[in-house]
C-alpha cells in the first residue's frame, strides 16, 4: 500500500486525502488545528462553489451539506454610476446551481470523517525541517497549506505572475437578517457590484455554523476608500464599516442590509495578498521533493470567486494522476506533468482573474452592458464562473466580443 503525506487541511488537502483514502492509499494528513478549533474559529473564505467543483465533491460522496445549503441559481452584475445609481444591472441564470458552505463547517466535518475512516491525522504545524524529517517515510508528499513557511519552498513564477503586490484589500462579514433581492426574489443569486475606481462588493448566500446566512464581501482598490479595514479588531466595528461603505457606494444593497447582524464573533475576516503562480516542486534540505497543491502554487485574487473551485479541481486532477501512476515512483517528471495537467484548467482562471483586477477595456464594458439587454449574454457570462475557459471565446479580444454580441443580437431579432 502506497503511503502519502498531505500537509494542509483545506478544500484541496482534505478532498484529496479523503479521495485517496477511498482508493485504498495509506494517507497521513497534517493539520495545524483540530476539527473543534476550526469549527469555533474565524471564517476563512467566501467559497461559492459552482457546478463542476460541486461535482467533484459528489463523486467522492463528500457533499454532506448539499440539502442544507442554499441553492444559488443565478449570478448578477451591477455597475455603480458617479451619483451612486445603478447604470447596469442584470442577473444570469446558472445551468447548474452553486452552493457555499462555510469552510469552518466543511473542513471540520471532513477532518472528522477522515479520522473516523481510519486516516492518520497529525495535529501539528509543519515547518520545512519537520517535512524534511517526515518525508523519508512516504512515497509522495503533497503541500496543500497555502500560508506559512512551507510556501517559501515554491519559487514565484514571474512569467505567470504579473502582479508583485496585492491588487485588492479584502473584507468579509457573515450576517443574518439580509432582506431579499427585490428584482428577483424567487431564486438565490450571487451579486457582483462593481464600483469603478473603488472596488467591488459581493453578496452571496451561504450555510454557516448557525444555518442559512449571507456573506458581504468588499474588495477595495489599495489606497482607496474601501481599503479601510486594516487594524480593525472588533467584529462589530468591522460590520459597521462594511455597512457604511455599502450605504455610500452600493445603496441598493444597503437598503436590504439595514437589519443585519453578524452570525457569530468569528464571522469577519480582512486581509490582502498578491496573486501569485509558483513553481510546483519544492526541494527539501535533505534532497527530497514535494508537490504543491492548489493555492500553494496558483493563488488568484478572489474577485472571480475561483479559490475553492480551483482547489476542488486541483484535488480531482491530482487524485486521477496519482491513481493512474500505479506503483511507479513519484519523481520530478511526474510532479511536473501532474501540475501541467492542472495548469490546463488553472491558466484560464488566472488569465481571467488578472484581467478583472485591471481597468476594464471598452469592449468588456460593452459586453457587460449588453448582458443587461440580451439574456443569453448574461447567462453565458454567469456560467463562465463555472467554466472560465469559455471566456477565451468572447471576453478577451475585442473582435471576438463584437462578433459574439452581433450573433446574439441577430438571433434575438430574427
Q: Cell for 235?
A: 467584529
Residue 190 pLDDT exceeds 90: yes
pLDDT tens for 164-179 read 999 999 999 999 999 9
The pLDDT value given to residue 126 = 87
Task: Read off the pLDDT of residues 244-276 as tens digits, 9 standing for 90 and up.
Answer: 999 999 999 999 999 999 999 999 999 999 999
Is residue 133 over pLDDT 60? yes
Q: What is the pLDDT of residue 182?
A: 80
Given this model, what pLDDT does residue 149 score? 85
Q: Please tell me the chain's helix, strand, coil percentages from 3-state DSSP, rounded to the nearest 5.
A: 40, 25, 35
End-to-end Cα distance, the chain: 62
Mean pLDDT across the chain, nearest whole number? 96
What's the confidence (pLDDT) of residue 236?
98
414 has pLDDT over 60: no
Given a cut of 90, is residue 288 above it in pLDDT? yes
Angle, to 10 degrees, between the axis of helix 307-325 and the axis of helix 332-357?
160
pLDDT at 292: 98
Residue with cell 462589530: 236
Contact between 48 and 98 (Cβ < 8 Å): yes
Outline where 190-331 has alpha helix (H).
235-249, 251-254, 307-325
Q: Is 305 left (phi over 0), alpha (psi -120 to 50) or beta?
A: left
- Contact (CB, 8 A) for 92 and 74: yes
CA dihedral defined by 276, 277, 278, 279, rounded to 10 degrees?
A: -170
Helix (H, G, I), strand (E, B) or coil at 86: strand
pLDDT reading at 319 higher than 90: yes
- Give per-residue pLDDT as tens, 364-387: 999 999 999 999 999 999 999 999
pLDDT at 390: 98
| pLDDT value, residue 410 | 86
d(CA 176, CA 257): 9
Q: Over 60: is that where the pLDDT of 59 sits?
A: yes
> In whole angstroms, how large is the CA radius of gyration of the chain?
21
Beta bridge partner(s), residue 281 = 291
DSSP label of 181: P
**Other CB atoms within 10 A of residue 72 CB:** 21
φ, ψ for residue 20 (rounded to 5)? -65, -40
Q: Number of helices and strands (H, E) in the chain?
A: 12, 17
Domains of the chain: residue spans and CATH: 3-62+103-163+275-357 (3.50.50.60), 72-100+165-271 (3.30.9.40), 362-413 (no CATH)
Amino acid at each position: 500500500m502506497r503511503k502519502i503525506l498531505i500537509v494542509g487541511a483545506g478544500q484541496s488537502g482534505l478532498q484529496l486525502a479523503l479521495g485517496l483514502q477511498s482508493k485504498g492509499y495509506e494517507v497521513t494528513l497534517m493539520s495545524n488545528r483540530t476539527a473543534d478549533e476550526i469549527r469555533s474559529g474565524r471564517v476563512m473564505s467566501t467559497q461559492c462553489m459552482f457546478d463542476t467543483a460541486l461535482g467533484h465533491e459528489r463523486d467522492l460522496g463528500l457533499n454532506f451539506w448539499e440539502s442544507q445549503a442554499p441553492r444559488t441559481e443565478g449570478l448578477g452584475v451591477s455597475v455603480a454610476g458617479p451619483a451612486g445609481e445603478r447604470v447596469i444591472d442584470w442577473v444570469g441564470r446558472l445551468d447548474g446551481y452553486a452552493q457555499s458552505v462555510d469552510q469552518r463547517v466543511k473542513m471540520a466535518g471532513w477532518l472528522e470523517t477522515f479520522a473516523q475512516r481510519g486516516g492518520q491525522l497529525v495535529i501539528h504545524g509543519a515547518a520545512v525541517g519537520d517535512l524534511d524529517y517526515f518525508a523519508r517515510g512516504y512515497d509522495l508528499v503533497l503541500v496543500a497549506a497555502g500560508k506559512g513557511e512551507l510556501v517559501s519552498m515554491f519559487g514565484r513564477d514571474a512569467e505567470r505572475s504579473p502582479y508583485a503586490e496585492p491588487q485588492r484589500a479584502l473584507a468579509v462579514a457573515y450576517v443574518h437578517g439580509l432582506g431579499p433581492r427585490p428584482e428577483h426574489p424567487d431564486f438565490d443569486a450571487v451579486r457582483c457590484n462593481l464600483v469603478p475606481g473603488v472596488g467591488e462588493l459581493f453578496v452571496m448566500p451561504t450555510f454557516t455554523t448557525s444555518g442559512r446566512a449571507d456573506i458581504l464581501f468588499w474588495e477595495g482598490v489599495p489606497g482607496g476608500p474601501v481599503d479601510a479595514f486594516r487594524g480593525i479588531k472588533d467584529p462589530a466595528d468591522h460590520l459597521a464599516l462594511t455597512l457604511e461603505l455599502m450605504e455610500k457606494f452600493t445603496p441598493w444593497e444597503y437598503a436590504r442590509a439595514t437589519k443585519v447582524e453578524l452570525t457569530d464573533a468569528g464571522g469577519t475576516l480582512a486581509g490582502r495578498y498578491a496573486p501569485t503562480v509558483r513553481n510546483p516542486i519544492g526541494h527539501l534540505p535533505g534532497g527530497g521533493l514535494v508537490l504543491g497543491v492548489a493555492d500553494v502554487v496558483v493563488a488568484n485574487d478572489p474577485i472571480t470567486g475561483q479559490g475553492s473551485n480551483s482547489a476542488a479541481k486541483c484535488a480531482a486532477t491530482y487524485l486521477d494522476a496519482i491513481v493512474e501512476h500505479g506503483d511507479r515512483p513519484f519523481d520530478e517528471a511526474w510532479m511536473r506533468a501532474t501540475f501541467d495537467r492542472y495548469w490546463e484548467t488553472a491558466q484560464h482562471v488566472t488569465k481571467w482573474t488578472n484581467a478583472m483586477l485591471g481597468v476594464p477595456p471598452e469592449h468588456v464594458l460593452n459586453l457587460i452592458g449588453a448582458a443587461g439587454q440580451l439574456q443569453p449574454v448574461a447567462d453565458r457570462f454567469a456560467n463562465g464562473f463555472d467554466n472560465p475557459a469559455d471566456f477565451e471565446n468572447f471576453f478577451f479580444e475585442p473582435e471576438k466580443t463584437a462578433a459574439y454580441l452581433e450573433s446574439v443580437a441577430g438571433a434575438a431579432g430574427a
